[in-house]
């Protein structure tokens, strides 16, 4: 279904349901670089244009409308990992529904718990997901009145493939303070919490990035390898569409896949999760230079290891490459930002995550009750114009975290005399043996470039390091001993494959799950070292 030229203008606030259409009217021939065809429209191939994607959004919206999705409906989305997740959310918003996006890597047991909290009017999935749902699929049918397949056929469920697309749904412009998008936290400490963002709140990261793009005069291809269901990704997409630039949307963070796409599209900007950059460091030595065109590297929400920043900046052949690190959470959006160059990264403190955005965010440190350790360390709290309006189905938990306009990020840190924020640890990861586990991990990774991950886990027997090496090569234990010589006593490291490291859709390590697997002996190791019990 082609995009009509008379679509309403979305006004001053971001419109998830209209952004692809408005971009297509201005920049119809700009490209998307894909590494996997859309499940929703495989016939578009690997290089669809803005115009084709906008048509896909209109077509999908019409099919969803034909199957009963209406303005105001909350719709859970849980489908196979693919960039078309972005445009499925756009199609739902085009109708005026509220998409609730779930990471494709969640287990069905977790999905049913989240849907029980959400109680959506519809649930959108695909045949591959239904095929492995088992008893949880039966539970889902009790919770949700309507289940729709994006593609394929299973269990007699209606599929978008069979729905008519001949009736264009009316456009509903959502009120500024009503929920417009529901995403979820990473789930590092349990079942992810679903965060409802108002349309006004989704504007914060778009404003921030648009200002930055204008300041940098950015107009090159932008490559993203970030979770397609994360709130951050929609802000990044909206900004790129507004600029009219080519967009590489990668589903696979594997080094060889990234190399192939980057050599073709030669991005000027790259955004990925911190642990992805660590794995991509080997691309810096590639003689074909897949990273040499990059002018701006970006990483959001988690603090990144300084080693990865140094390697990325060193791999670029641009005169003044920069690395932008943003810190925040799903609940707040970006809270602080720090800019790195080749010069300042040499003396950078990896725990410094920068300053708040003037006029949009603030940060403060609240002392921990009953803790007087002689330091300035405390709970990091923030105010943000992008603060989520609730945890869906968990309002009491949301209220516990909020104090007026201030939100407790449940991270431990401090502010320097210059006002920059320093992140030390998650509250749940603190241990008396180390002032900062994250700082200790930075130290190890700086000294051992063959490591792709070093995680310190607190177990009853002490501090247990768990490490991964590049392409699972043997660990140099002599070098390890030298690297930890200046740290408090820790156990011998357990060496595991990266694929065995429990992590979230944004590649955060689930330390609690890792600790449980170490304790019960269910995690396979690559050597003879046994974990502390």
The CA dihedral of 145, 148, 153, 158, to the nearest 10 degrees, is 70
**Range of the structural domain that residue 331 is part of:** 203-429
Q: Report how far residue 377's alpha carbon sits from residue 415's, in angstroms, rounded to the nearest whole number.
A: 8
3-state DSSP assignment of residue 255: helix
Regarding whether 392 and 310 lie in a shared domain, the answer is: yes
Regarding whether 120 and 243 lie in a shared domain, the answer is: no
Name the burial class of residue 410, with classes exposed (0-12), middle (13-18) and buried (19+) by CB atoms within 10 angstroms of its CB: middle
Each residue's pLDDT, cut to its tens digit, for the chain (533 residues) gives 676 666 766 666 778 999 999 999 999 999 999 999 999 999 999 999 999 999 999 999 999 999 999 999 999 999 999 999 999 999 999 999 999 999 999 999 999 999 999 999 999 999 999 999 999 999 999 999 999 999 999 989 999 999 999 999 998 888 888 999 999 998 877 899 999 999 888 877 787 787 788 888 899 999 999 999 999 999 999 999 999 999 999 999 999 999 999 999 999 999 999 999 999 999 999 999 999 999 999 998 777 899 999 999 999 999 999 999 999 999 999 999 999 999 999 888 888 999 999 888 999 999 887 676 667 889 999 999 989 999 999 999 999 999 999 999 999 999 988 889 999 988 888 887 788 888 889 989 999 999 999 999 888 888 899 999 999 999 999 999 999 988 888 889 999 999 999 988 888 898 888 989 988 888 888 877 666 65
In this structure, is residue 156 part of a structural domain?
yes
Regarding whether 345 and 489 lie in a shared domain, the answer is: no
Regarding whether 264 and 218 lie in a shared domain, the answer is: yes
At residue 418, the pLDDT reads 86
Q: How far is CA 113 from CA 69, 135, 191, 392, 510, in A?
A: 22, 13, 8, 12, 19
Two tokens, residue 196 = 């409802």
Regarding whether 310 and 357 lie in a shared domain, the answer is: yes
Regarding whether 370 and 302 lie in a shared domain, the answer is: yes
Regarding whether 250 and 107 lie in a shared domain, the answer is: no
**CATH number, domain with residue 441:** 3.30.300.30
Regarding whether 273 and 289 lie in a shared domain, the answer is: yes
Q: What is the DSSP letter of 389?
A: S
Q: Which of 429, 445, 473 is the last residue of a domain?
A: 429
In this structure, is residue 30 part of a structural domain?
no
From 209, 269, 197, 274, select the one nearest 235 (Cα to Cα): 209
**CATH number, domain with residue 356:** 3.40.50.12780
In this structure, is residue 6 part of a structural domain?
no
In this structure, is residue 183 part of a structural domain?
no
In this structure, is residue 531 part of a structural domain?
no
Regarding whether 473 and 335 lie in a shared domain, the answer is: no
Number of H helices, E strands in the chain: 15, 23
From 86, 90, 80, select the one nearest 39 (Cα to Cα): 80
In this structure, is residue 22 part of a structural domain?
no
Q: Report how far residue 223's alpha carbon sits from residue 297's, in angstroms, rounded to the nearest whole number.
A: 10
Q: Report how far residue 260's alpha carbon sits from residue 258's, in angstroms, rounded to the nearest whole number.
A: 5
At residue 277, the pLDDT reads 96
Two tokens, residue 281 = 């460091």
Regarding whether 460 and 382 lie in a shared domain, the answer is: no
In this structure, is residue 157 part of a structural domain?
yes
Q: What are the φ/ψ torsions at residue 409 (nearest 5 degrees)?
A: -80, -5
At residue 374, the pLDDT reads 61
Regarding whether 154 and 263 lie in a shared domain, the answer is: no
CB 199 within 8 A of CB 174: yes
pTM of the model: 0.94
Two tokens, residue 223 = 């490559």
Regarding whether 453 and 309 lie in a shared domain, the answer is: no
The domain tally of the chain equals 3
Q: Which of 403, 429, 455 is the last residue of a domain?
A: 429
Q: Which of 153, 174, 195 is the last residue of a domain?
A: 174
**CATH number, domain with residue 144:** 3.40.50.980
Name the burial class of residue 444, with classes exposed (0-12), middle (13-18) and buried (19+) by CB atoms within 10 angstroms of its CB: buried
In this structure, is residue 104 part of a structural domain?
yes
């Amino acid at each position: 279904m082609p995009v009509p030229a008379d679509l309403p203008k979305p006004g001053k606030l971001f419109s998830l349901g209209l952004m692809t259409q408005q971009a297509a009217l201005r920049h119809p021939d700009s490209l998307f670089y894909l590494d996997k065809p859309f499940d929703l429209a495989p016939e578009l191939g690997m290089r669809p244009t803005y115009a084709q994607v906008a048509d896909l959004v209109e077509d999908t919206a019409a099919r969803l409308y034909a199957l009963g999705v209406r303005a105001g409906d909350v719709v859970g989305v849980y489908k196979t990992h693919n960039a078309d997740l972005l445009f499925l959310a756009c199609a739902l918003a085009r109708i005026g529904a509220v998409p609730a996006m779930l990471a494709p890597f969640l287990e069905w047991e977790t999905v049913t718990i989240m849907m029980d909290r959400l109680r959506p009017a519809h649930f959108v999935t695909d045949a591959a997901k239904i095929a492995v749902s088992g008893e949880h699929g039966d539970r889902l049918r009790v919770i949700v009145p309507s289940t729709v397949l994006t593609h394929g056929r299973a269990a007699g469920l209606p599929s978008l493939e069979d729905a008519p697309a001949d009736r264009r749904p009316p456009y509903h412009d959502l009120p500024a303070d009503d929920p417009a998008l529901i995403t979820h936290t990473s789930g590092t400490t349990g079942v992810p919490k679903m965060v409802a963002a108002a349309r006004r709140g989704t504007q914060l990261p778009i404003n921030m990035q648009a200002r930055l793009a204008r300041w940098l005069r950015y107009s090159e291809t932008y490559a993203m390898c970030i979770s397609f269901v994360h709130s951050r990704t929609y802000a990044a997409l909206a900004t790129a569409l507004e600029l009219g630039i080519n967009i590489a949307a990668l589903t696979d963070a594997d080094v060889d896949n990234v190399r192939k796409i980057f050599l073709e599209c030669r991005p000027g900007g790259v955004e990925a999760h911190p642990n992805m950059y660590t794995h991509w460091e080997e691309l810096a030595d590639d003689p074909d230079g897949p990273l040499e065109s990059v002018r701006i590297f970006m990483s959001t929400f988690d603090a990144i290891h300084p080693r990865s920043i140094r390697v990325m900046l060193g791999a670029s052949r641009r005169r003044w490459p920069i690395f932008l690190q943003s810190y925040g959470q799903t609940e707040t959006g970006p809270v602080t930002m720090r800019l790195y160059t080749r010069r300042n990264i040499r003396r950078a403190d990896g725990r410094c995550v920068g300053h708040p955005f003037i006029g949009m965010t603030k940060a403060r440190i609240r002392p921990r009750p009953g803790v007087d350790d002689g330091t300035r360390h405390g709970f990091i709290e923030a105010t943000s114009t992008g603060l989520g309006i609730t945890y869906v189905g968990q309002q009491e938990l949301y209220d516990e975290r909020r104090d007026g306009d201030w939100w407790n990020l449940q991270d431990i840190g401090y502010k320097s005399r210059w006002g920059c924020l320093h992140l030390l640890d998650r509250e749940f990861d603190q241990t008396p043996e180390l002032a900062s586990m994250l700082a200790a991990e930075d130290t190890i990774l700086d000294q051992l470039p063959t490591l792709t991950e070093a995680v310190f886990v607190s177990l009853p027997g002490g501090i247990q390091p768990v490490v991964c090496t590049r392409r699972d090569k043997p660990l140099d234990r002599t070098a390890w001993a030298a690297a930890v010589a200046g740290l408090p006593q820790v156990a011998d490291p357990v060496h595991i494959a990266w694929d065995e490291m429990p992590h979230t859709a944004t590649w955060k390590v689930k330390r609690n799950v890792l600790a449980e697997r170490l304790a019960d002996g269910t995690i396979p190791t690559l050597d003879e070292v046994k974990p502390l019990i």
